[in-house]
Amino acid sequence: MNLVDGETRAVGVKFTGAEGRRIARSGAAGRRMGITTGFGVLALSAAFLLSSGTHALRAADCGSVAAPGLDWSGCSKTNIMLPGSDLHGANLAGAHFDSTDLSDTNLTSANLEKATLVRAWLKNAKADSANFAKIEAYRSDFSSASANGASFANAELQRAEFAGAQLKNADFQKAELGRADFDKAALTGANFSFANLSRATLNGAVMDGTTSFSGAFMYLARIEGLDLSKASGLQQAQINLACGDNTTILPSWLKAPSGWPCPPDDKD
């Protein structure tokens, strides 16, 4: 039986001559297409498995123990104890550290952009040059932390605790700092441009050099006893909203409002 007969008998009809040869060629082409399609499916399957394996390896970092330079981006690390960990240079962008203890942790040069640290403890943490931009850290504790040169730009830091922290040249541009506490914090060179400092506590902070308050909202900000003589960007309208006293030192172009001192702040 020749190829033509085989192809035509499969459908119960026998064609000969040119018609038979045409049908035979069509059948052979179909077989080749089927083989090619099969190889294509196998290739796609292999690519999917490789991609899944790569993703699994990347996600496996979430289960890794704290170590310098690791990738915990997007990982959930809430309500756990990590005091004294070394996360120097780690990628923690978008990670969740709500109610987590990060006290005494080394976060030097770590990237925490868009991470959540609501009610987290970072007391005594070493976070110089760290990136805290756009974090959510309501009521978080950065007291006595060292975050010189760190970025807190556009961060949500309402009622955050920065008492005694080293924040020289830190960037707080457009940060939400309502009722944040900077008592005895080192703020020389810090940038509070367009930050919301309403009801924040700045009295007792140290500003040995230029600190920028350009465009900052200072409604009832506590600046009693604060030396602002080297501050930049301050306008009379901002000082009129703030709460100082006769020990507040203002730049030469500003004067103390008649309403000073303010009554004690209601901490609630």
For 206, the 3-state DSSP assignment is strand
**Residues constituting the chain:** 268
Residues 170-224 pLDDT 10s: 999 999 999 999 999 999 999 999 999 999 999 999 999 999 999 999 999 999 9
| Burial state string for 76-97 with b = 16 or more CB within 10 A and e = fewer than 16 | ebbeeebeebbbbbbbbbbbbb
Q: Which residues contact 131 (CB under 8 A, 6 or more apart)?
A: 110, 111, 112, 113, 150, 151
Enter the tokens of residue 45: 């399957």
Tokens 């940060």 map to which residue? 175
Q: For residues 135 and 153, is the Cβ–Cβ distance under 8 A?
A: no
Per the DSSP assignment, residues forming a β-bridge with 141 are 121, 161
Residue 67 identity: A
Tokens 């303010």 map to which residue? 262
Residues 219-255 pLDDT 10s: 999 999 999 999 999 999 999 999 999 999 999 999 9
* pTM of the entire predicted model: 0.78
For 199, the 3-state DSSP assignment is coil
Backbone φ and ψ for 59, nearest 5 degrees, come out as -70, -25
Largest CA distance in the chain: 114
Residue 55: what pLDDT?
A: 41
- Say whether pLDDT at 17 is over 60: no
- Say whether pLDDT at 14 is over 90: no
What share of residues in the chain are helix, strand, coil (percent, to 5)? Answer: 20, 15, 65
Q: Which of 56-60, 77-81, 126-130, 204-208 has the lowest mean pLDDT?
A: 56-60
Answer whether the bond into residue 261 is a cis peptide, omega within 30°: yes
- Say whether pLDDT at 161 is over 90: yes
* Separation of alpha carbons 264 and 150, rounded Å: 32
Backbone φ and ψ for 21, nearest 5 degrees, come out as -65, -35
Enter the tokens of residue 267: 């901490």
Query: Higher confidence at residue 53 or residue 122?
Result: 122
- Say whether pLDDT at 163 is over 60: yes
Residues 66-83 pLDDT 10s: 999 999 999 999 999 999
For the chain, the domains span 3-60
The per-type count for the chain, helices as H runs and strands as E runs, is 3, 0
Q: What is the mean pLDDT of the chain?
A: 85
Displacement of CA 145 from its chain's centroid (Å): 18
DSSP class of residue 127 equals: -
Tokens 């901002």 map to which residue? 238
Enter the tokens of residue 68: 């310098």
Enter the tokens of residue 18: 């040119």
